[in-house]
A and B are shown apart, each in its own frame.
Chain A
Amino acid sequence: AVVSTQSGHYGRDENGPTIFRAVEETTDVVKDVLSNIQSKNPVPDKSVQDLKKRKLISSSVTKFYSVSKGEGFRTDIEKPEADLTADMLQDGTWKSKNFKDYNFTAKGAPVVGGCLHPLLKVRTEFRRIFLDMGFTEMPTNQFVENGFWNFDALFQPQQHPARDAHDTFFISDPQMTPKEAFPPGYLEKVIEVHEKGGYGSTGYNYDWKIEEAQKNILRTHTTAVSTRMLYKLGQQEKFVPTKLFSIDRVFRNETLDATHLAEFHQIEGLIADRNLSLGHLIGVLHAFFKKLGLEKLKFKPAYNPYTEPSMEIFSYHPGLKKWVEVGNSGIFRPEMLLPMGLPRDVNVIAWGLSLERPTMIKYGINNIRELIGPKVNLNMVQANPICRLDKN
Chain B
Amino acid sequence: SSGINAEWPLRPGFEDLCFDFGVELDDIVEEEGITKFKIDIPANRYDLLCVEGLSQGLNVFLGKTTLPRYTVLRARERLHVDGSVEGVRPYVVAAVLRDITLTEDSYNSFILLQDKLHQNIGRERSLVSIGTHDLDTIQGPFKYHALPPPEIKFQPLNQDTVMTAPQMFDIFRKNYLKPYLQIIESSPVYPLITDVNGTVLSLPPVINGNHSKISLSTRNIFIEVTAKDRKKAGIVLDTICGAFSEYCTTPHTIEAVEIVQADGSTFSSPKMGSRIEEYDSAELCLKSGIKTATPEQLADLLTKMCLRASVAGEKLKVEIGPTRHDILHQCDVEEDIAIAYGYNNIPQVLPDLYTIAVEQDVNKLSDSVREELARCGFTEVLTFSLCSRDDVSVNLRIPEAVGGAVQISNPKTFEFQVVRTTLLPGMLKTASCNRNMPLPLKLFEVSDIVVKDTLTETGTKNYRYVCALFAGKTSGFEVVHGLLDRVMLMLDVKDYHIQQTSDPMFFPGRGADIILGTKKIGHLGILHPEVLEKFDVTLPCSVLEFNLDPFV
B353 at the interface (CB under 8 A from A): yes
Q: Closest 7 CB pairs between A and B?
A: A279-B289, A301-B22, A174-B459, A303-B42, A277-B289, A172-B409, A374-B429
A24 at the interface (CB under 8 A from B): no
Which residues of B sit under 8 angstroms from A310, Cβ to Cβ? 335
| Stretch of A1-9, A28-36, A95-103, A327-335 lying at the B interface | A327-335
What is the chain A residue whose CB lies nearest that of B426?
A: A374
B368-404 interface (Cβ within 8 A of A)? 370-371, 373-386
Give A243-257 as 1s and 0s: 1 = Cβ < 8 Å from B's Cβ atoms: 100000101010000
Distance in angstroms from B373 CB to nearest chain A CB is 7
**CB < 8 Å neighbour of B408 from A170, A309, A371, A373:** A170
**CB < 8 Å neighbour of A177 from B286, B377, B380, B458:** B458
A263 at the interface (CB under 8 A from B): yes
Whether the pair A131, B430 counts as a contact (CB closer than 8 A) is no
Can you give 11 contacting A-B residue pairs, CB < 8 Å?
Answer: A114-B380, A116-B371, A116-B374, A131-B357, A144-B406, A144-B419, A204-B231, A218-B408, A249-B448, A275-B286, A301-B22
B104 at the interface (CB under 8 A from A): no
B11 at the interface (CB under 8 A from A): no
Whether the pair A174, B406 counts as a contact (CB closer than 8 A) is yes
**Chain B interface residue bracket vs A:** 35 or more
Most buried by A among B127, B329, B363, B416: B329
B490 at the interface (CB under 8 A from A): no
Give A298-312 as 1s and 0s: 1 = Cβ < 8 Å from B's Cβ atoms: 111111010011110
Give B432-443 as 1s and 0s: 1 = Cβ < 8 Å from A's Cβ atoms: 111001100111
A239 at the interface (CB under 8 A from B): no
Which residues of B sit under 8 angstroms from A301, Cβ to Cβ? 20-22, 335, 338-339, 343
B347 at the interface (CB under 8 A from A): yes
A376 at the interface (CB under 8 A from B): yes
Whether the pair B410, A278 counts as a contact (CB closer than 8 A) is no
Distance in angstroms from B273 CB to nearest chain A CB is 12
B4-26 interface (Cβ within 8 A of A)? 19-22, 24
Whether the pair B123, A161 counts as a contact (CB closer than 8 A) is yes
Given contacts A114-B373, A116-B371, A177-B459, contact A137 B350 (CB under 8 A): no
Given contacts A112-B377, A144-B458, A335-B328, contact A280 B350 (CB under 8 A): yes
B197 at the interface (CB under 8 A from A): no
Interface size on A, residues (CB 8 A): 99
A354-376 interface (Cβ within 8 A of B)? 371-376
Give B345-371 as 1s and 0s: 1 = Cβ < 8 Å from A's Cβ atoms: 011111101111111101100010011
Instruction: Report how far A315 CA is from B17 CA in the complex, Å.
Output: 18
What is the chain B residue whose CB lies nearest that of A240?
A: B355
Distance in angstroms from B72 CB to nearest chain A CB is 21
Query: What is B's interface to A at a CB cutoff of 8 Å?
Result: 19-22, 24, 42-45, 120, 123, 127, 229-232, 286-289, 328-332, 334-335, 338-339, 343-344, 346-351, 353-360, 362-363, 367, 370-371, 373-386, 406-412, 416, 419, 426, 429-430, 432-434, 437-438, 441-444, 448, 450, 452, 457-462, 464
A273 at the interface (CB under 8 A from B): yes
A316 at the interface (CB under 8 A from B): no
Instruction: Report how far A200 CA is from B42 CA in the complex, Å.
Output: 23
Instruction: Report how far A392 CA is from B221 CA in the complex, Å.
Output: 60
Most buried by A among B287, B367, B376, B377: B287
Whether the pair B437, A378 counts as a contact (CB closer than 8 A) is yes
Give A112-154 as 1s and 0s: 1 = Cβ < 8 Å from B's Cβ atoms: 1111110110001001001111111111111111100000000
Whether the pair B358, A116 counts as a contact (CB closer than 8 A) is no
What is the chain B residue whose CB lies nearest that of A281?
A: B289
**CB < 8 Å neighbour of A143 from B230, B287, B385:** B385
Which residues of A sit under 8 angstroms from B358, Cβ to Cβ? 136-137
A84 at the interface (CB under 8 A from B): no
Whether the pair B329, A201 counts as a contact (CB closer than 8 A) is yes
Instruction: Report how far A241 CA is from B356 CA in the complex, Å.
Output: 12
Whether the pair A300, B19 counts as a contact (CB closer than 8 A) is yes
Whether the pair B407, A144 counts as a contact (CB closer than 8 A) is no
Whether the pair B331, A114 counts as a contact (CB closer than 8 A) is no
A282 at the interface (CB under 8 A from B): yes
Instruction: Report how far A156 CA is from B115 CA in the complex, Å.
Output: 24
Instruction: Report how far A350 CA is from B356 CA in the complex, Å.
Output: 18
